[in-house]
Amino acid sequence: MSETPRVILVAGATGVQGRSFIEALKPEGSAPPAFRVLALTRQPDSQSAKDLASSNQHVQVVQGDLDKPETIRKVFVDAGGEGAIYGVFCVLAFPGLGKDAEGEEKQGKSLADIALEYKVQHYIFSSYERGGTSMDHVLKLDRKAKFDIENYVMALGDKGLPWTIIRPTFFMENFLGSIGRVTATVLRVGLKEDTKVNLVAAKDIGSVAAAVFQNPEKTKGRAMSITSDHVTTAEIEASYKRGTGKDIPSVPNFVGRALLAINAHARGVTEDIERVHEMISNPTDDTYRLSQELTDDIHPQKTTFEQWSRDLVEKGKRDEAETPKKGWNGVSLLHLLQGKL
């Protein structure tokens, strides 16, 4: 007799991390699901929500707004009240480069509070990798918001909320679309030649998060770095060429230099990458090493940038990488040129 699937509430279910996580939890073949997903969305009638439910039998779309805690409590009540929802995977929407992250911080803390209230047995918060903790005092905007949410969730652990923090690095998906062209050039002209960029494929984030729920005793009360590849910009371009047979889509170098000159937030991206590279290369503590070792233990398979690039071709997505469009994370080229983002 099969066990009743454990219920996982996913905040950010229709985003790149949420979809990857749901895919990672999909049962193989005719095997019964070990987990059932409640996919939280403000708009259950949206096409993305419908697609999510129609392609995943283990998924139920539920309506809720992280800015309205009463709607989230209703999700927990409708699921069966205290203890009915086993786990929560919390992914918060990126507010945008240079944007105030007060709303993000409020959402993250509120969902954690409600999870504690309804006796969730495992809470995962998706933060970001900063290379260690020695420079936490310089964090700003969304970086600081995620750091503050981390500390808040950890404090709730003392009150009975079992938690795991996952810390993804720089998304490979940042190289898609028109913003991907800009990303490739800004990193090429803005980083030192020997600076290594810690890259992560979205599917690896989903797989690691799934492995966290599958290995609760190893992962509760731990922070975990998720890095798929560790490469210089020259290695990024060479990997893309090997994977696709084409040069990585980019804009002229002078455009990248101009963006770095006029846009403080674009400079902030390269400065953040340089800082993380320096902290990992010359660590002052074991934070990063230990968190990466745990990730490697529960999910040793990683997607290199070359493999990610090859997958674009195999899945027919290379045109997506080469077609100008708004970035998947909501950053627009126009705003970058205007210095707004």
Helix (H) or strand (E) holding 198: strand 197-200
Average pLDDT over residues 73-92: 98
Whether the predicted pLDDT of 334 surpasses 50? no
> What are the distances in angstroms from CA 107 to CA 6, 91, 136, 156, 269?
24, 10, 21, 15, 24
Q: Three-state DSSP class for 282?
A: coil
pLDDT given for residue 328 in this prediction: 44
With 70 as the cut, is the pLDDT of residue 320 above it?
no
Domain definitions of the chain by residue range: 6-338
Q: What's the pLDDT at 132?
A: 67
What is the rounded CA–CA span in Å between residue 318 and residue 192?
Answer: 28
Question: What is the pLDDT confidence band of residue 341, given thresholds at 50, 70 and 90?
Answer: very low
Q: How many CB atoms lie within 10 A of CB 5?
A: 16
**Per-residue tokens: 132:** 């260690």
Does pTM surpass 0.85?
yes
User: Is residue 217 helix, strand or coil?
Assistant: helix
The two counts, helices (H) then strands (E), for the chain are 15, 10
What separation in angstroms does the CA of 234 have from each of 182, 188, 247, 329?
16, 8, 11, 24
Cβ-based neighbour number of residue 174 at 10 Å: 19
More confident residue, 324 or 282: 282
Give the rounded percent of residues in the chain with a pLDDT score beyond 90.
72
Banded model confidence at residue 327, pLDDT cuts 50, 70, 90: very low
Per-residue pLDDT, 1? 39
Please give the average per-residue pLDDT across 281-294, as a whole number.
89
Is 77 a residue whose pLDDT tops 70? yes
Q: Output the six-digit token pair for 111.
A: 């969902």
The CATH architecture of the domain made up of 6-338 is 3-Layer(aba) Sandwich (3.40)
The residue whose two tokens read 């999510």 is: 52
Compare 169 and 103 and report the one with higher pLDDT: 169
Q: Which residue has the tokens 């209230």?
A: 117
Q: What is the pLDDT of residue 302?
A: 95
In 191-263, alpha helices (H):
202-214, 216-219, 233-244, 253-262
* Residue 192, both tokens: 């030192």
Distance CA 325, CA 328 (A): 9
The predicted model gives 63-72 an average pLDDT of 97
Q: Residue 326's closest CA among 200, 180, 142?
A: 180
238/253 Cα distance (integer angstroms): 17
Question: pLDDT-based confidence at 323, cuts 50/70/90?
Answer: very low
Residue-wise pLDDT for 84-117, tens only, equals 999 999 999 875 655 556 889 999 999 999 999 9
* Closest to 113 measured CA to CA, from 152, 169, 86, 80: 152
Position 143 pLDDT exceeds 80: no
